[in-house]
Chains A and B, each alone.
Chain A
Amino acid sequence: MRLAIIFILTVTLTCLGLINLYSIHQGYSNQFYRQVFTFSLGLLSLIILRYIKLKHLMWLAPFAYVAGLITLILIPLGMGKEAFGATRWLSLGGFQFQPSEFAKIFLILALASLLSKKSNPLIKFFFSVLTLGIYGLLVYWQPALGTSLVLGAVFISMVYLSDLPLKYLLIMSVIFLLVMPFGWFILKDYQKSRLLVFINPGIDPGGLGYNLKQALIAIGSGGLTGKGFMQGTQAKFGFLPVPWSDFAFASLMEEGGFILGLLIILSYIIILGLTLSLVSSSVTPQGVLLIAGVLGMWGFEALINIGMNMGIVPVVGIPLPFISYGGSAMIKNYLALGLLIKACSKKENRGLWFS
């Protein structure tokens, strides 16, 4: 029942994303048809996942992790495709995909497999950090700060809901906070300025603050009821940057207004809340961990994206789950839904305890 509600809500959000694509391009949109196509691929991957047993998934996890690693390495080796100043895409047999999106799923699988093993908690924790670190750094170098942050959120969420002592997480956070100030120096210039703009949006109204300002104008000008379908001037005339992806929420707010905004926010909260409640209905540690991973991923992506659209979080390149345009992300999100279904299936969970 809960899974059914989650499914209905994700499909609804996907449809909203499609409406947004149609609207911002005034109907002349390749993105719209591509998104419809990847949506069907997403549903297809849900069905395929039905036929793979969770046991086998866990067995596959290390191989998937290594496969993801290879695709991530291929990018800096010069096989990537550059866009918006970052190299995040890989071409494979005519299809382009974003390895970093699938890396999120592979990380969830790998950590679920790793954290459910019976061994010394400290060693387990060490290997999990390593598992995260390799992916995180490779993604960070693309550069895709947003995605590496999502990977971090997945890790934290899974460790939090695992049987590892919480003090590990605490100690790690403390170390992280201490190292943070030095981290400023490894941030790229554009990332520094994004942070500065977030702290004071007025510093550069023609440049970086521009994006945030236009997003706020788009949301604010939507008012209570919005400007109406295909009537959003901010997106239509190009003032709102990337209204199909990172700023899709702002674009929807411009046309749909406060009422729609409230519905979208509530939809995400319900999805996340239900996902969280699934934790107690899963009977195996692997299941719990998978749910925790998906929860961390969706939760972080949704909250950060909406937050940055409304100017309460710095601007980072994180798409809004289900709504933002992007094939890899779409498939990844339905795969994640598939993992939830796997994790809750009583039949599937049998015989996993001692693997």
Chain B
Amino acid sequence: MDIRTKQFFLVILLLASTVLFSGRLFYLQVIKGNEYANLSVSNYLRTIQVQAPRGNITSREGTILAHDILTYVVKVAPADIKDEEKIIELLISMLGVTREDILKAINDDSLPYYYPRVVAVDIPLDKVLELKIKEKEFPGLTVEISLVRKYEKAESFAHVIGYLHEIDREELFILSHRNYTSGDRIGKTGVEKYYEEYLRGIKGKRLYKVDALGKERILQSESFPEKGNDLVLTVSDELQQKVSDIIKDLPGTAIMMNPKNGEILALASNPTYDPNYFVKGLKPAIWNLWMKGKALVNRAINGQYPPGSAFKALVAITGLENKVFTDKTVVNCEGFITVGRRVFKCWTYPAGHGPVTMREAIAVSCNVYFYTLGAEIGINKLVEYADNLGFGNLTGIDLPSELPGLFPNPQWKREKVKEKWYAGDTSNLSIGQGYLLVTPLQMASFYSFIANGGYAVNPHVVKSVRNNQGEEIYEAYFPPVFKGISLKTINVIKEGLRKAVTRGGGLTPLKDLSIEVAAKTGTAQAFGKEKPHLWLIAYAPADNPEVVAVILSERSKFDFAYKLAPYMKSMLEAWIEYKNKGN
């Protein structure tokens, strides 16, 4: 090869390099220029978000139930750490936190590397001073004042208010566009979750200019955080406390609601939990205890039970409205009835109630009467009315994850049970058994509709929302909705319910109250040898009801629902006392 050819190849090499290099430079600087420009800005500008104080939650009386308080927290910024092992050892020995928790916080890659992460909260003052001195010795470690949620009367209000906790990855993924970052607090249940947007406030921002070592921070700009809005609950501090106390030995739930406007005055679920543990740190023993008792489940909206006899009011309404029966129609109860080839017993079996009309049938809760009526009405009409009056549907309460219960129908049975609908299914349904499931809140809502003379209301727990200037920016207003049921029909039911108290049976304790009470019991057969769920639903005063109260005793220690009467009496007494204070 002569020198010319050799040179030629080198020229080719040079030209190829020219093309390659200028092409690559063009790609980096012109095509990807903006992308890299953003990266270079995020290199030297650090944004630290400043937590916003969350809005307070108060009872309808104005008692503070949830608020932010200041405590000391320990934070660690991975980018500034010199000796990670030393810091971990210090924190373990001084604060008793676990290595796993610290490492989890340090290695959280959803936050920028420089971002300080909380590793311990609620630091006692003596340790704050000790740690403050050590800040210099341990770069990356800082002790700061931070906001933490504090719940007052926590166990009583837990199921209404819910709790806050650190945002998890899944939520972060969904909500990152709404300015949430890892480590933020977010409402997990209750109104803390439902009204998250009102409560959370607007985070502040601090923009620093830094060099590669994270030193020489110069504050570039700062925007201050804005406190969230305050919630005022419809729930009364006084009533809630008393109701929680009354059902303390009664696993289940108790609800007290104003039938005229849907305001929930009290809503207790037993067993309950202390949401403050979510702030302080939850020990496994407590968590396991809660899990065992399903303490986090709000039985008023997440518990689904057969309503038992309490459902008979709906069958009565449907019968009257469709003129299947009149209020005078007499059914002779012989203690049992045969439907198809099956024998359905009255609860008095082998005795019978004898001839009963509708008012009496409601008062004594005669099964035979309602088997007969139910069979006459037919499943289709029952489905239509049940749906209209809210069974199988959400009540729409302003609490997250409400369950709709279940109202069965022939189509549903075909699809889910793979069986056709038998006449016996209608019979079971007519006395509130079988596949039917309701939530206690649905029952409260249904009896409010009766108490309110045929007007349904929307149950809710938040009365209003106030901004930082004290102005109301939201006020709950749900006008009663006429459901197309005649007042005459409703009045027959109401008279029957009143009679259940006055006739002198097990509900007699409710007669002793200073106001007239109407009530209905319910016994939901549980499967096998399990104890039944018992219901007692009442409203008062009977002629112009201002309160509807529901008690559900889950797998009750009692055999008969009327044994709940003393509990109901205490609840209504509490309400009367509350009312007499001028509320």
Contacts and interface: CB of A to CB of B under 8 A. Distances in A.
Interface of A: 160-161, 166, 206, 214, 216-224, 233-234, 237-239, 253-254, 257-258, 261-262, 265-266, 269, 272-273, 276-277, 279-280, 288, 295, 299, 303, 306-307, 310-312
B14 interface: yes
B28 A219 contact: yes
Nearest to B212: A238
Given A221-B33, A237-B44, A280 B25 contact: no
B36 A216 contact: yes
Contacts of A160: 6
B43 A220 contact: no
A276 B36 contact: no
B26 interface: yes
A237 B210 contact: yes
Interface in B418-457: none
Interface string B18-39: 1011101110111011111101
A262 B25 contact: yes
Interface string B329-361: 000000000000000000000000000000000
Of B7, B17, B37, chain A has the most CB atoms within 10 Å of the CB of B17
Nearest to A233: B44
B29 A219 contact: yes
Interface residues of B, number: 35
B113 interface: yes
Name the prevailing secondary structure of the A interface residues: helix
Contacts of A224: 29-30, 33
Contacts of A303: 17, 21
B10 interface: yes
Top-5 shortest CB links A-B: A220-B36, A238-B212, A221-B40, A223-B33, A237-B211
Contact of B29 (A233, A261, A276): A261
B11 interface: yes
Contacts of B34: 223
Nearest to B39: A217
Interface of B: 1, 3-4, 6-7, 10-11, 14, 17-18, 20-22, 24-26, 28-30, 32-37, 39-41, 43-44, 113, 210-213
Contacts of B1: 166
Contacts of A222: 29, 33
Contact of B39 (A220, A269, A280, A311): A220
B17 A269 contact: yes
Nearest to A220: B36
A219 B35 CA distance: 11
A279 B39 CA distance: 46
Interface centre among B3, B10, B28 (most CB of A within 10 A): B28
Contacts of B28: 216, 219-220, 310
Contacts of B29: 219-220, 222-224, 253, 257-258, 261
A93 to B, nearest CB: 36
27 contacts: A160-B6, A166-B1, A214-B43, A217-B40, A217-B43, A219-B29, A220-B29, A220-B36, A220-B37, A222-B33, A223-B37, A224-B30, A233-B41, A237-B44, A237-B211, A253-B29, A265-B22, A272-B14, A273-B14, A276-B10, A280-B3, A280-B4, A280-B7, A288-B3, A299-B14, A307-B21, A312-B24
Given A220-B33, A220-B36, A224-B29, 14 more contacts: A216-B36, A221-B33, A221-B36, A222-B29, A223-B33, A224-B33, A238-B212, A253-B25, A265-B18, A265-B21, A276-B7, A306-B21, A311-B24, A312-B24
Contact of B26 (A214, A216, A217, A258): A258
Contact of A233 (B24, B33, B40, B113): B40
